[in-house]
């Protein structure tokens, strides 16, 4: 995902927690879906390899498959009828990024909540700057 910046304002910590918990839940669901897709692709890759090997033997072709099934246009990569390995690479590259984002979001949630509760500022408005879905700045409006 690209770099996105967003400023959100909340009436209190409870509203912030509701929003962040919703984001965490969406990320968890998305990561589970990516893991499921990755498992399915692993099975497809094995079938693809077996078929490719049979075709290679029958045609006397080389061991090496075509480099990639991608087309790049001004930095945008397009995959048309991708091989299972291409899809697998895409999912494998995305999964750790989403998992890292989830871990940072959880940690940020706990830190912000802890600070505001410790300072007894749970009912004051706050503004939070998010970058790529993760809180990076918090403005506490305590006066």
Q: CB under 8 Å to 74, separation ≥6 — which residues?
A: none
117: domain range? Answer: 5-140
Q: Closest by alpha carbon to 104, among 78, 79, 130?
A: 130
Inter-residue contact 92 to 35 (CB < 8 Å): no
- The residue that leads in pLDDT, 142 or 4, is 4
Q: What is the pTM of this model?
A: 0.76
Could you give the number of structural domains in the chain? 1
Left (φ > 0), alpha (ψ -120 to 50) or beta: where does 4 sit?
Answer: beta
Q: What is the pLDDT of residue 65?
A: 46
pLDDT digits (tens, 9 = 90+) for 42-53: 988 888 888 878
Inter-residue contact 79 to 86 (CB < 8 Å): yes
Inter-residue contact 72 to 78 (CB < 8 Å): yes
Inter-residue contact 93 to 41 (CB < 8 Å): no
pLDDT digits (tens, 9 = 90+) for 58-115: 777 655 544 446 777 788 887 777 888 889 999 999 999 999 999 999 999 999 999 9
């Amino acid at each position: 995902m690209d770099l996105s910046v967003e400023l959100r304002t909340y009436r209190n910590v409870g509203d912030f927690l509701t929003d962040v918990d919703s984001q965490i839940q969406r990320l968890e669901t998305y990561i589970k879906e990516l893991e499921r897709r990755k498992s399915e692709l692993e099975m497809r890759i094995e079938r693809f390899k077996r078929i490719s090997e049979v075709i290679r033997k029958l045609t006397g072709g080389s061991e090496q498959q075509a480099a990639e099934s991608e087309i790049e246009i001004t930095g945008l990569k397009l995959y048309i009828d991708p091989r299972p390995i291409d899809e697998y690479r895409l999912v494998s590259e995305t999964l750790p990024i989403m998992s890292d984002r989830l871990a940072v979001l959880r940690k940020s949630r706990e830190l912000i909540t802890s600070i505001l509760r410790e300072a007894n500022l749970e009912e004051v408005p706050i503004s939070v700057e998010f970058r790529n879905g993760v809180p990076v700045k918090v403005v506490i409006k305590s006066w």
